[in-house]
Amino acid sequence: MEKTIDKTGVRIGMWIFLYSEIILFGGLFVLYAVYFHAFPDDFASGGKELNRIFGTANTLVLLFSSFTVAASITAIQRSKKIQSMTLLVISILCGLIFLINKYFEWGAKFEHGLYPNSEHLLEADPGFIIFFGLYYTITGLHGLHVIIGMTLLAISLVLVMRNRVSAERYAMLENSGLYWHLVDLIWIFVFPLFYLVL
Amino acid sequence: MNEHEQEHTLSYRFLGMILLGLVLLTAVTVAVSYRHWGFLNVPIALFVASSKATLVLLFFMHIKYEGMVIKVSFISTVVVLAIMISFTFWDVAFR
Amino acid sequence: MEQVKSFYETPSPPGLTGIKAWLLTHDHKRLALMYLWVVMFWLVLAIFIGLALRLELMFIGETIMPPEIYNSFFTLHGVIMIFLFVIPAIPAIFGNFFLPIQIGADDVFFPRLNLFSWYLYVIGGLTAIVSLFTGDGFADTGWTFYVPFSITTETNVSLTVTAAFILGMSSMLTGLNFVTTVHRMRVKGMGWMQIPLFTWSLYATAWVQILATPVVSITLVLVVLERFLHIGLFDPDKGGDPLLYQHLFWMYSHPAVYIMILPGMGVISEIIPVFSRKAIFGYKGIVVSSMAIAIAGSLVWAHHMYTSGMSDVSVFVFSLLTFLVAIPTAVKVFSWVSTMYKGSILMTPPLLLALLFIYLFSVGGLTGLVLGAAGTDIHVHDTQFVVAHFHFTMFGGTGFAFFAALHYWWPKMFGIMYDFKKAYIGSVLTAVGFIFHYVPMLILGLQGMPRRYFDYLPQFETGNFLAGFGGFLMVAGLMLMFVNLWSSFRQRVQASDDPWGGTTLEWKVPSPPPLHNFVEIPNVMEYPYDFSEVLSKAAQNRG
């Protein structure tokens, strides 16, 4: 057997991993669908508590970072090492901005006493409690994925720097990119479901 | 392997166009959320989100240039997710 | 051919000697054997826990353990058997060893990931052990971890659930590896319709592993979150719906029973044609039914919930869909039986075990229809009948397929042959004990004895005593079987490259196989179960 790297095979493996991530979030979306069906009014009033500006800003940040990741792959394919590295740094910074935004958003909610099992929340309607339960679970899990994605991008950045990732061999960068796009993809659905359902 | 392994390089310009499309769609969905069309708001929001997801999948994630294996298996995954949600409604919608 | 060194004898690279040659190996064959030993450890442990449970139930009142221990023990028995034995056994051991060889590859696609999966499996098992001795003891919820009990009980559910999460991850990554391997590493000339049926069944299983496992992962995460943060997603006080837990749980755990049985069916599909010296009846039918079971099996999860208070419409729909799964299953059973019809049958221990599989699994399948029909299920729901039913499928099915696979591939994996006579006695004793053990439980269930109960009314005494008696017979048979296999290491009767007359690629390489499996690029037959060569060779030897 010749020992060339089968790039398509590596990509298939990565995609299969992404499917499992999609289904992982899928379980939560099942809960969302059922509870939204049960408490449409409470979900609307829950959505009003969230800050649409913050949400939109975060959406744009993630979309932009997805673009820079895709562009960094184009750069490496063209052997533009510095460009690729710059784009990756920008992507990681975008991830950081996203997390900082999220931190302030969560912090504001905590200050209003809206966190799981808080006294203030427990006085509210059941649907309202569930809305925030789902909000914290889904955005928390998503935030965790942002952190993992940033780590992967950072590893790719180092590998590009050391010429371990190059125009001939960039599976690692490509797979980290796929992971990052997935994080974006999930946010694309989370954003309207929580911030825009009014 | 036998199938052509040509790597697709997408130009910055093209990727930028996709980004522009995504930003415009985001603007649309946020704008719609300020109007109150009752029940219609949800399907519109989900439709826009799906369009955005499709753009990301096809071009940022290169699915358009992948072989059948990835295309078919991705669609199957979405179908599985749809079944998970819809079959649960056999229960919750009729209780 | 004789000169080729087997993978045991091939010297390891420097720095990877001794125990490291195993613990850091990327070789799928070594990993398979490492899985074998760990799985065997768990299997034997869970067998004896099960026996202790049945000994407790043999007599009314407390016999050998208090009720709290009993609750923890049946949970432990379930968790070990499901997550550490039945799900990984056939794919991780025989799949790892033979899937690459059957498709003419030198390893799986991601060898390092394969090693990682093994470590996840071991860590998952260790986590389960740790959860036994820390906190307030092992979970007493049963392996289903139903809310609200799993959220409120004092026992160490969080750690037990974490163990299940890690094991799920390991199983998912193995599936990922297999799918990629089958797609990308088939030897030239092997199209989809030349793939041996065992590999096909693993391929179907792998998809279920990939697409179903994450659901249970997230569900178990939610249980842990509920325990620590009291979010309320399953808590009716806070608007949550505990039934949704059951939906999510069975969304994985029902497909998981097909993760358990499909590889077993694959093993049987290999064994039956080889010892009938006849092409398998309906190759394509079996392939299609494997995929059909994988798909249809994912649509029926709520048939575990008929009495839970979900809507009547869903009881109707899921009952109907459940009956659909019976069709592809029956296609397989008929294909196996038809393969044997007019074949020239050669009786060996693997074939005997395969026949026992067909019989016991059919009983399991048919009792499954009793449970799948909503009307009858309400009568026997959560009784010993259910326990007997799933042991007929999981133990009579997958368990016996596992033993059949052990006996079938033992000479290939180790290059040695075991004693046939003891293997026959062990198999028959296990099967007889099995019948004595589980048939009384079917009857007890119909009479109304609930499952998971520590004690019972006097009218159930005879049945429980008989079941306990059968349990001892069964364990004796199993131990004889294992000791017999083990003692083959002492006797070292050499096995030939193809002791059974098999036609798939693993029988065309030396026993045990060399490090890279194939010395020369293998020749793929147009049809994987063509026995004309085997038969003509046998005729030459005779004449």
Candidate CATH numbers 2.170.120.12, 3.90.1310.10, 1.20.120.80, 3.40.50.300; the one for domain A14-196: 1.20.120.80
Distance from CA of A22 to the nearest CA of C (A): 9
What mean pLDDT, rounded, does chain C reach? 92
Q: Is the pLDDT of residue C111 over 70?
A: yes
Find chain C residues with C-beta within 8 A of B92's C-beta.
241, 311
pLDDT value at position C134?
A: 83
pLDDT in tens, C11-34: 777 777 778 888 888 999 999 999
> Per-residue pLDDT for C132 more than 90?
no
Residues A156-172 have pLDDT tens digits of 999 999 999 888 889 99
End-to-end CA distance of chain A: 59
Which two structure tokens, joined as six digits, stand for A60? 């744009």
CA-based max dimension of chain B: 55
Q: Does A148 touch chain C (CB under 8 A)?
A: no
- Report yes or no: C213 and B79 within 8 Å, Cβ to Cβ: no
Separation in Å, CA of C273 to nearest CA in chain B: 31
Residues of B within 8 A of A197 (CB-CB) are 41-42, 45
Fill in the DSSP letter of residue C65. S
Q: Which of A1, A23, A116 sits opposite C230 (nearest CB)?
A: A116
Cβ of A188 and B29 within 8 Å?
Answer: no
> Which chains lie within 8 Å of chain B at 3 or more CB pairs, if any?
A, C
Q: Residue B4: what pLDDT?
A: 45
Interface with chain C: mutation pick from A8, A18, A23, highest number of C CBs within 10 Å: A23
Q: Does B90 touch chain C (CB under 8 A)?
A: yes
Q: Which residues pair with C494 in a beta bridge?
A: C416
Where does the pLDDT of residue C520 fall: very low under 50, low under 70, confident under 90, or very high at 90 and above? Answer: confident
The answer to whether the Cβ–Cβ distance between B69 and C183 falls below 8 Å is yes
Query: pLDDT at position A3, please?
Result: 54
List, in sequence order, every residue forming a beta bridge with C6; answer none if it has no partner: C514
Does the distance separating the beta carbons of A117 and C239 come in below 8 Å? Answer: no
Enumerate the residues of chain C whose CB falls inside 8 A of the CB of residue B69. 183
Chain B residue with CA closest to C210: the answer is: B77
Name the residue facing B90 among C183, C298, C313 (closest C-beta).
C313
Query: What is the tens place of the pLDDT at every residue in A43-96?
Result: 999 988 898 999 999 999 999 999 999 999 999 999 999 999 999 999 999 999
Is residue B68 less than 8 Å (CB to CB) from chain C? no
Residues 6+ apart with CB under 8 A from A136: A106, A115, A116, C231
Q: Which residues in chain A (150-169) have CB-CB distances under 8 A to chain B?
A: none
Report DSSP letters for B26-60, one per residue: HHHHHHHHTS--GGGHHHHHHHHHHHHHHHIIIII
**A 74-113 residues with CB below 8 A of B?**
74, 77-78
Instruction: Supply the pLDDT for residue A104.
Output: 94
Q: Which tens digit of pLDDT belongs to each residue from C379-394?
A: 999 999 999 999 999 9
Q: How much of chain C, in percent, has pLDDT values that exceed 90?
A: 78
% residues pLDDT > 70 (chain A)? 97
- Residue given tokens 């497909």 in the structure block: C255
Rounded to whole angstroms, how far apart are CA atoms C224 and C360?
38
Inter-chain CB proximity B94 and C318 less than 8 Å: no
Indicate yes or no: pTM above 0.90.
Answer: yes
CA atoms of B29 and C11, how far apart (whole Å)? 64
pLDDT bracket for residue C171 (50, 70, 90): very high
Question: What's the pLDDT at B9?
Answer: 84
Rounded-to-integer distance, Cα C330 and Cα C292, Å? 12
Calculate how close chain A gets to C238, using CA atoms only, in Å: 5
Contacts of residue A69 in chain B, CB cutoff 8 Å? 60
Of B32-46, C100-114, C396-410, the least confident: B32-46
Which of C210, C222, C230 faces A16 most closely, judged by CB atoms? Answer: C210
Check B89 against A33: CB less than 8 A apart: yes
Mutation target for A interface from C169, C171, C238, C241: give the one with most A CBs within 10 A. Answer: C238
d(CA C143, CA C256) in angstroms, rounded, equals 13
pLDDT band at A1 (very low <50, low <70, confident <90, very high): very low
**Rounded to whole angstroms, how far apart are CA atoms C29 and C509?**
13
- ipTM surpasses cut 0.90: yes
Contact B94 C243 (CB under 8 A): no
Is the predicted pLDDT of residue A34 greater than 80, yes or no?
yes
Phi, psi dihedrals of residue B20, rounded to the nearest 5° = -60, -45
Does the pLDDT at position B3 exceed 70?
no
Which among C183, C184, C311 has the least Cβ separation from residue B91?
C311
CB of C317 less than 8 A from some CB of B: yes
Is C20-542 a domain of CATH 1.20.210.10?
yes
Q: Which chain A residues are closer than 8 Å to B7 by Cβ?
A: 7, 77
A124 touches chain C (CB under 8 A): no
pLDDT tens readout for residues C414-472: 999 999 999 999 999 999 999 999 999 999 999 999 999 999 999 999 999 999 999 99
Q: Among partner residues B83, B84, B94, which is closest to C311 by beta-carbon distance? A: B94
- Reply yes or no on whether the pLDDT at C1 is more than 50: no
Q: Using pLDDT thresholds of 50, 70 and 90, give the confidence band for residue C237.
A: confident
User: Residues C188-201: what's their mean pLDDT?
Assistant: 93
Distances (CA, A) of A64 to A71, B61, C302: 10, 14, 42
Question: CA-CA distance, A198 to A32, in Å (whole number)?
Answer: 15
Yes or no: say if C222 and C234 are a contact pair by the CB < 8 Å rule. yes
Distances (CA, A) of C160 to C131, C144, C167, C219: 6, 11, 11, 14
Estimate the crossing angle of helix C242-276 against helix C384-393, to 10 degrees.
Answer: 40
Contact B60 A70 (CB under 8 A): yes
Give pLDDT, residue C543.
Answer: 67
Q: What is the mean pLDDT of residues C321-325?
A: 90
Contact A71 B15 (CB under 8 A): yes
Radius of gyration for chain A, computed over Cα atoms and rounded to the nearest angstrom: 19
Q: How far is B76 from chain A (nearest CA, A)?
A: 10
Residue C167 and residue C319: Cα distance in Å, rounded? 30
The runs of H, that is alpha helices, within C103-241 are 111-133, 149-152, 157-184, 197-229
Nearest-neighbour CA in chain C from B24: distance (Å): 33
Give yes or no for B54 touching C (CB within 8 A): no
B-chain CB neighbours of A64 within 8 Å are: 19
CA distance C499 to chain B (A): 35
Task: Answer whether A16 sits within 8 Å of C231, measured CB to CB.
Answer: no
Query: Looking at the partner chain, which of C215, C298, C302 has a beta carbon nearest the beta carbon of B91?
Result: C302
Distance CA C355, CA C400 (A): 9
How far apart CA C266 and CA B61 sit, in angstroms, is 36
* pLDDT for the residue numbered C21: 85
Extents of the domains making up chain A: 14-196
Residues 6+ apart with CB under 8 A from A104: A54
Q: Is B39 on the interface with C (CB under 8 A)?
A: no
Q: Closest Cα to residue C35, out of C87, C105, C79, C104?
A: C87
Cβ pair B91:C243 closer than 8 A: yes
In C, minimum Cα distance to B86 occurs at: C299
Whether chain B has a CB inside 8 Å of the CB on A67: the answer is yes
- Residues 6 or more apart whose Cβ sits within 8 Å of residue C390: C257, C364
Q: Name chain C contacts of A133, Cβ cutoff 8 Å.
A: 231-233, 238, 240
Interchain CB contact of C176 with B (< 8 Å):
no
pLDDT at position A198 is 67
Q: Measured between CB atoms, which of C251, C302, C310 is closest to B95?
A: C310
